[in-house]
């Protein structure tokens, strides 16, 4: 029988300078026994949310994402996946509620074909993954949700680069919103990004308005192209305001279901 068994894996070390990003491809996890075991990991709230999802693909992604979260957290603490408890802040952001494990911070994201779970020690974290298959009216969406400077920078890109550029901005904005933990209460016109080509990577600059009452240097950002179809952005709290390249170490890890 195939079952999730995090105890079979060696304990993971996670320092305050580490960010671990665990990835899974939901379409590759189809074993009925494994999916049944994953479903048994969910608490009542998670199960009820799963049951309310009517689109099979999205329901499957939700299950994999939340099973991945529980299995991943158990890599860093001596707790079984079913023992994790979560609370929500005033804006609905979930956090670990187990008193002895409050230092673990996490964020999850899922899109068509990919699930991501980011974990840190102490620092607020936000991760967003997006499929690049969407192509309709991207500039119209940008006009509605991006800052004027972001829209201008996007439109200055050559046409073949605008599609990828849109998702650079979109995933970065989502990752920042999620790291801040304020959801839709965070005004989209209160911050923006400036992307500049660099040696081997884009330079990511954050600008904020006075209304946000935040400091750009308080946050660090990364962008990843994951294969031909997915973009991932990561935002992590950087309270020490360490300049890039910093001691913060993002590490992308594949998540593989345990079979025995």
| Domain membership of residue 209 as a residue range | 124-238
Question: What integer pLDDT is reported at residue 129 of this predicted model?
Answer: 97
- Backbone φ and ψ of 17, nearest 5°: -100, 0
Q: What is the number of alpha carbons within 13 Å of residue 255 lying toward its C-beta?
A: 29
Sheet holding 125-131, edge to edge: 125-131, 230-237, 219-226
Q: Give one word for 54, left, alpha or beta, with left for phi > 0 and alpha for psi -120 to 50.
A: alpha
DSSP summary character for residue 13: P
**91 and 39: one domain?**
yes
Beta bridge partners of 120: 105
Q: Considering only CA atoms, which of 214, 217, 212, 210 is closest in space to residue 248?
A: 217
Contact 116, 109 (CB under 8 A): yes
**191 and 89: one domain?**
no
**69 and 148: one domain?**
no
**35 and 132: one domain?**
no
Q: Is the pLDDT of residue 248 over 90?
A: no
Q: Is the pLDDT of residue 247 over 60?
A: no
With cut-offs at 50, 70 and 90, classify the pLDDT of residue 257: low
pTM: 0.89
With cut-offs at 50, 70 and 90, classify the pLDDT of residue 240: low
**117 and 177: one domain?**
no
Domain count, the chain: 2
Beta strands per DSSP E along 69-154: 86-88, 94-96, 104-111, 114-121, 125-131
With cut-offs at 50, 70 and 90, classify the pLDDT of residue 224: very high
**3 and 116: one domain?**
yes
**177 and 112: one domain?**
no
> What CATH code is carried by the domain that includes residue 197?
3.90.470.20
Beta bridge partners of 203: 196
Beta strands per DSSP E along 198-254: 202-208, 219-226, 230-237, 249-254
Across the chain, what does the average pLDDT equal?
88
**99 and 162: one domain?**
no
**106 and 129: one domain?**
no
**234 and 131: one domain?**
yes
With cut-offs at 50, 70 and 90, classify the pLDDT of residue 81: very high
Q: Mean pLDDT over residues 30-51, rounded?
A: 96
**162 and 228: one domain?**
yes
Locate tokens 């187990």: which residue?
A: 98
Map residue 196 onto helix, strand or coil: strand
């Amino acid at each position: 029988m195939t079952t999730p068994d995090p105890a079979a894996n060696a304990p993971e070390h996670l320092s305050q300078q580490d960010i671990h990003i665990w990835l899974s491809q939901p379409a590759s996890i189809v074993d009925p026994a494994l999916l049944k075991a994953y479903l048994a990991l969910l608490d009542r709230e998670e199960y009820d949310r799963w049951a309310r999802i009517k689109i099979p693909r999205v329901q499957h992604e939700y299950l994999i994402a939340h099973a991945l979260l529980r299995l991943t957290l158990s890599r860093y603490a001596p707790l079984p996946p079913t023992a994790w408890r979560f609370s929500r802040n005033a804006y609905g952001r979930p956090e670990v509620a187990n008193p002895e494990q409050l230092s673990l911070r996490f964020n999850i994201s899922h899109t068509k074909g990919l699930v991501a779970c980011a974990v840190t020690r102490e620092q607020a974290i936000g991760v967003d993954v997006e499929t690049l298959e969407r192509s309709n009216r991207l500039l119209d969406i940008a006009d509605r949700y991006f800052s004027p400077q972001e829209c201008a920078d996007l439109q200055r890109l050559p046409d073949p680069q605008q599609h990828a550029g849109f998702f650079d901005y979109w995933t970065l904005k989502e990752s920042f919103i999620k790291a801040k933990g304020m959801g839709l209460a965070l005004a989209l016109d209160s911050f923006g990004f400036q992307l500049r080509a660099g040696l081997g990577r884009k330079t990511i600059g954050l600008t904020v308005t006075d209304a946000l009452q935040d400091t750009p240097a308080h946050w660090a950002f990364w962008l990843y192209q994951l294969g031909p179809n997915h973009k991932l952005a990561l935002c992590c709290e950087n309270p020490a305001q360490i300049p890039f390249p910093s001691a913060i170490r993002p590490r992308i890890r594949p998540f593989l279901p345990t079979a025995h």
